[in-house]
Chains A and B, each alone.
Chain A
C-alpha cells in the first residue's frame, strides 16, 4: 500500500514545521483535486498536513480592501456580503466553476494550488514534463483541444483550470504567504503563478516550506462595471474553453482603467496587459474593444486542435467588455 501520514495541524507554526519535516508532503484543504491526483498515482505525498482547522477562514475588511482566508471554502467566499457587494466579479467567477458540492469543499488556497486538467498529466502511462520533469510533453503533438495558446513552451502546453483565479488576477489580488512561523510575504497574484518555460513541474512560486495564508483584494473599483464570461462545452460543470474577467473604471463614456484576465488559454490566469493599456483613455466602443482583443492575441500560438481558441478569445474579450460597460446586453 502507498501509505501516507495524515496530520491535522492545530497551528500555522505546526503546519510549517511538519511540512518541512516530511519530504514530499502536501497541505490538504478540501482535497477535491489532491485526492484525485493521489488515487491516480499522479502524486504520492508521504504526508498530508490538513490545514482546514487552522484559523485562516476569515473574510474581513483590510486597509481599503478585503482579506480572504486561505481555508474558507469557495461557496462561502463567493456569497460573503463583502465579496458580493464590492467584488461581484469574484462572486460570479467562483460560482461559474465546478459544482455546488465541489465549491462547498474546495478552499481558496486550494483553488490557487489546483493542478492542470491536461489528460496526459493524469495518465501515468504517458510522458508529461509537469508530472515527471524531462519525460517529454505528450500534448504538444497529441490531443490538445483544451490546451494553451498564450505563454506556452516547448515543454508544456497545459492550462490553469481555475475560474476564481482569473477574477483574482483581474482584480490584482495579492497572495500572502507564511514562510516562517512569524514571517509573511506578499506577492501580486500575477507573479505568484508561473509560465511553464523549462520548469513546467512548477505551477507557481510557492516554496516547499511556505503556506498560503490569505488572499488580499485591493480597494474595490469594479463593482459597477464588471463581467465574467465563461465559454464552455455545456451549460454548467465544465472547465472553460476560454473565460474572460473584466473590470472597468469609467469616466462617462471613457475608460479610465481596464483590468482584463483570461482563463483556459495559458499555464496561468492570463493578465491581458496589452489590451488593458491600449484601452486606457479610450472611448467605449465595439471597435476599440475589438482592437484591444486583436492586440492581446497577437502573441497567441495555436496547436493542432486549439486554433479556435484564438478567435474565441478575441470574441469573448469583446463580449465581456461590452457586458462590463453596459453596452448591449
Chain B
C-alpha cells in the first residue's frame, strides 16, 4: 500500500479554481429552483420583553406577498432529543412571543420577489411589552457565574493544578493584568443562505451555506420530526464560514418552515445587516491573567480567569483558557471560565475559538513578564518549555514549538534587534518588534469515505465533508491520487451533501486529519477488494498487501515491477465489471498523547507619533502542524489567519448600544476588516514534522492555529515601539495618542 511520501505536500492549485474564477461554481444561493418564493425576515427592535401584537395587514396587501409568518401561525417545531443532539430548542424561531435580544427573528415575509418581500417587511409594525434587559458587560462583570453552557458542555470550566497561593509565593516577579477582546463578528463574504424544498409530506432538501451538512441534517430532522434519511442538506461551495456556519441558525429553520407553510420552495438569504444578531459572534471577553516567576524566569504560577459575555439562556461562552494549561510548564495553575448573562444575541465559536482570545492575553502577559525579568521573550518561553503535557502528563505526539521560535527568530533577525523600548524613531514613526506563540488542539473525528474505481481509471472519492474555500477538494484529490497511483485529473471528489458517507464538516481544524485518514482507510479497503478478486493466474497472487504499491493505474510488488497488473485488467479478468468501490472508516482511538499544532509569530510595527496609527511592516511566522498536504493551500490558510489576526489586533470591533444590546456598526462600512494596504509581505514557513503518534497520515490541522498569537505579537511590538501596553483590543489610533 502506498504511503503519503512528502511531509510538505506539493503546492497544487485548487482543483475548483477555474469554476470559481469563471463564476461556474454554484454556491447554495445560486442553485436555480423553479417556482421558488423569496423570504425576508423581520427582527425585533427591543432588547428584552414580549410581543403584544404584530400588525401584518399592510404587508399582506403588498403585491406579490404570499404570507407572513409570525409566532401566531408558524409551523411548530419539535424539541430535539437524543445523545449528541444539541438542545436546539434554544434556537427555536417564531415559536413564542418572547424577545430575548435585539435583532431576534420575529416575522418572515414570503413573496414572489425579493424586492416585494423586503418592502413588505418594512411595513410590519410590532407592539411590545418592554422588559428590563441587561446589556452592559462592564456593569455586570461582577455577576459572572460558572453555570453550565450548551455548546461548551465539554469544557472543564475550572482546572486546578497545585496551589495558586503556593505558586504565587514561589515567584518573586509577578504580572497581574486584564486583557479584553471586544465583540467581534465573522461576516463571511458569502451570505448565509437557506433554500428549502419539501419533496414529500415528510421529506425535504435544503441548499444551505453550512460547514456541517450531517449535523444540520440531523438537527433539521429532529426539529421537523421526520427521519434523518428524509432530509438532504447540500452545500457544494462555501464562501467562508469561520464558525458562523457551523450550527443550524434560525434562518435555516425559517426557510424550511416557510416552504412547508406555502408548499413551494423558499429561498432566504440573510441580509448583511441582519448578520450581527442572527448567526453568532465572538462574545466580549475579559481575560484576567496572573503570572508568577522566579528571577531566572521559571514560571511558578499561571492563572487565567476568563469572563465571557453570554446570553440569558447561556448557549455559549468563550473557552479562552482552553490551551493555557498546555502551553508552558508551571507547577501551579488555575484556569476558570465564567459567563455574564446578558440580553445579547447568541454568541458562537469563531475562527480559532478559545486560543485566539486566550493567547492574546497569555502571550501579552508573557511579554510583560519578559520585560520585567529583562529576559528575551523567546528565552523566557524556552525556559518554560514542557517536556510532557503539564496538564495531563501525556507525551506530546509531536511538539516543535522551540524549532518554530528558533527558525522564525533567525529569519526575522530577532536576536540582533534593538532591544530598548521606544528607541527606534525614524521620522514621525516609532518602530518596534514583538513575538508570540500559537497553539491549537489537533483533534480528529470519526469519518467515513467511499472510493469508487470506475471506467477508464476514473476514481471518485465521496464523503460528507465541506470546503469553505480552504482546499478540501484539492487535498483529498491529492491524497487519493498518491495512495492509488492515479493522476489527479482522473480523480473526482464529491463532498458537501448529507447523502454522502458520514464525515465531519469543516471546523475545529479537524477536517484534513479526519478526512485524509478516512480516504486512506477507503483506499486500503479498495486495494483489499482488488486483491480479493485475484486467483493464482494473477502475477500479484499471494503478495501481502504491505508489499504492494499502486503505480500508473496498476498494482505492483513494491520491489519487483514485473509483478504488476492494471486495475482495469483485474476487474475485466476476475470480476467481469468495470467498477469496484470500498468504504473506509477512521475513528480516533483514546488519547495516548497530547495533540497540538504549534507556531511562532514575529512582527514589526510602526506607530505614527502624532496620529497613533499602527502599521504592520513585517511578518515572519513558522509552524509545526504535522504533515502538510498541500503547501499552497496550507500557506493560504496561514496567510488568511494572520490577516484576520491583524484585523483583530488593529481594527475589528462590534460596538453595542448598551441601552438596547444592539450592534451599531453592523455593516462593512462600520465594521473594519483589513484591506490589502494593511498587510505586509509575509515570510511563512513550515517545520518538517513527522508525527507518527497522532494518526496514520500524520496530519495535525492548521486551519486555525496561525490566528492564535497574532494579536499578541502586534501588541508586544507596539509596546516595544512606544512603551505603551495596550491590553484592550483593538489597538486603534485613539489608544496610542500621545506616544
Q: Which residues of A contact B (CB under 8 A)?
A: 1-2, 39-41, 117, 119-120, 124-126, 138, 141-143, 145, 229, 231-239, 241, 308-309, 311-312, 315-316, 318-319, 328-329
B677 within 8 A of A: yes
Collect the chain A residues with CB atoms within 8 Å of residue B678's CB: 234-236
Collect the chain B residues with CB atoms within 8 Å of residue A145's CB: 655, 734
* CB-based contact A234/B610 at 8 Å: no
**Extra 4 A-B pairs, beta carbons < 8 Å, given A1-B116, A319-B428:** A39-B118, A142-B657, A231-B612, A235-B677
B229 within 8 A of A: no
CA distance A120 to B613 in the complex (A): 27
CA distance A120 to B657 in the complex (A): 10
Q: Who on chain A is nearest to B113 by CB?
A: A1
B664 within 8 A of A: yes
CA distance A119 to B672 in the complex (A): 14
CA distance A117 to B664 in the complex (A): 11
Question: Given that A233-B733, A235-B615 are known contacts, is A315 also in contact with B677, CB under 8 Å in the complex?
Answer: no
Choice from A143, A232, A233, A312 contacting B657 with Cβ under 8 Å: A143
Q: Which residues of B contact A (CB under 8 A)?
A: 45, 62-64, 115-116, 118-119, 122, 273, 427-428, 610-613, 615, 650-651, 655-657, 659, 662, 664-666, 669-670, 672, 674-678, 732-734, 737-738
Choice from B122, B613, B655, B675 contacting A143 with Cβ under 8 Å: B655
* CB-based contact A315/B737 at 8 Å: yes
Collect the chain A residues with CB atoms within 8 Å of residue B732's CB: 233
Choice from A124, A238, A329 contacting B428 with Cβ under 8 Å: A329
Question: Given that A1-B63, A119-B664 are known contacts, is A236 also in contact with B677, CB under 8 Å in the complex?
Answer: yes
Choice from B45, B63, B665, B734 contacting A125 with Cβ under 8 Å: B45
Choice from A1, A119, A124, A312 contacting B64 with Cβ under 8 Å: A1
Collect the chain A residues with CB atoms within 8 Å of residue B610's CB: 315-316, 318-319
19 contacts between A and B (CB under 8 A): A1-B116, A1-B119, A117-B669, A119-B670, A125-B45, A141-B659, A142-B657, A142-B664, A143-B657, A143-B664, A234-B672, A234-B674, A235-B675, A235-B677, A235-B678, A316-B611, A318-B610, A319-B611, A329-B427
For the complex, would chain A's binding face be called helix, strand, loop or mixed by DSSP majority?
Answer: loop
Q: Nearest 6 pairs between A and B by C-beta?
A: A308-B734, A235-B677, A125-B45, A319-B610, A231-B611, A329-B427
Choice from B659, B666, B669 contacting A142 with Cβ under 8 Å: B659
CA distance A239 to B672 in the complex (A): 10
* CB-based contact A1/B62 at 8 Å: yes
* CB-based contact B734/A312 at 8 Å: yes
* B182 shortest CB reach to chain A, Å: 12
* CB-based contact B666/A236 at 8 Å: no
* CB-based contact B670/A117 at 8 Å: yes
* CB-based contact B675/A234 at 8 Å: yes
* CB-based contact B650/A308 at 8 Å: no
* CB-based contact A231/B613 at 8 Å: yes
Collect the chain A residues with CB atoms within 8 Å of residue B118's CB: 39
* B670 shortest CB reach to chain A, Å: 6
* CB-based contact A237/B675 at 8 Å: yes
* CB-based contact A231/B733 at 8 Å: yes
* CB-based contact A312/B651 at 8 Å: no
* A309 shortest CB reach to chain B, Å: 8
Collect the chain B residues with CB atoms within 8 Å of residue A241's CB: 733-734
CA distance A51 to B678 in the complex (A): 37
Collect the chain B residues with CB atoms within 8 Å of residue A141's CB: 659
Choice from B115, B273, B615, B651 contacting A233 with Cβ under 8 Å: B651
Collect the chain A residues with CB atoms within 8 Å of residue B662's CB: 126
CA distance A117 to B676 in the complex (A): 23
* A100 shortest CB reach to chain B, Å: 12
Question: Given that A143-B656, A241-B733 are known contacts, is A312 also in contact with B611, CB under 8 Å in the complex?
Answer: yes
* B668 shortest CB reach to chain A, Å: 9
